[in-house]
Amino acid sequence: MVPGEGAFPLCLLALFALPGTRPVTVEDTFVELNFFQESFPSQKQSGEFLQELNEEEIFHVDLDRKETVWRLLNFTTFASFDAQGALGSLATAKNNMEVLMKCSNRTRAQNVAPSATVYPENPVELGNPNVLICFVDKFSPPVLNITWLKNGVVVSQGVKETDFYPKADNTFRKFSYLPFIPEPGDFYVCKVDHWGLTESLSKLWHSKEPTPFSETLENVVCALGLAVGILGIIAGTILCFKARRGNEGSHRWGIR
């Protein structure tokens, strides 16, 4: 990873030019991620070029399409970035990788195992389209496989992933999105493979629906509440009658 200091002044000026945008301060963190590395045996070698401010992506370069992809389209109205510059930088990194590996005696970077969380994008309603999000966090190096399974079967249609996002502690985070329609009994697994893991990390998510037991319990509670209310009314009525009869007896015997 090589921080791109030269790009910072351009980004700083562009942010100042935005109407209504607050000034960039010394507390803000700008990161340019630029790396090329080996990957899993089943994958080709990988690289990434990305810029972010305060852990929010500004843009990244799509290496397959060889073009800049802006996180927010509004950025294109006041800023630009030539993807060829990133491609040239990555090509240099690729050529230098073998030299760097020899200098380090081919010592791999320390592997930090990831954590993972699966959650829906919106409140779940059975039969209504939604998106499952698999958030993989705090891992290094940025080499990762994310696989989705529905009821034990691998699914890939519609799956989208973000790039690797750097963190201040030199680890990374990544999101994977799976569009789905929640149905009763369906279960989904986000399986994560990383060099820091001795086996795949799997996180389960399944559709939840009201069970007959829970509905019966709810009905019982309502019935008990109604019964207690009725008993309260009856008891209050009896006490009222007793109090009136006591008052009438007192007047009959001349008790004041």
The rounded distance, in Å, linking the Cα atoms of 229 and 236 is 11
pLDDT for res 239: 61
Domain range 5-103, CATH architecture: Roll (3.10)
The pLDDT profile of the chain, 256 residues, written as one tens digit per residue, is 333 333 323 333 333 333 344 454 556 677 777 676 655 555 555 678 888 877 778 888 887 788 888 887 777 777 778 888 787 877 777 777 777 777 777 676 789 999 999 999 999 999 999 999 999 999 998 889 999 999 999 999 999 999 898 888 889 999 999 999 999 999 999 999 999 999 999 999 988 754 444 444 455 555 666 666 676 677 666 666 666 665 555 555 454 4
The pLDDT value recorded for residue 235 is 61
- As a CATH number, domain 115-206 is 2.60.40.10
Residue 149: burial class (beta carbons within 10 Å; 0-12, 13-18, 19+):
middle
In angstroms, the CA 227 to CA 222 distance is 9
| 180, 132 contact by CB (below 8 A) | yes
Contact at 8 Å (CB) between 45 and 37?
yes
Domain range annotation of the chain: 5-103, 115-206, 212-256
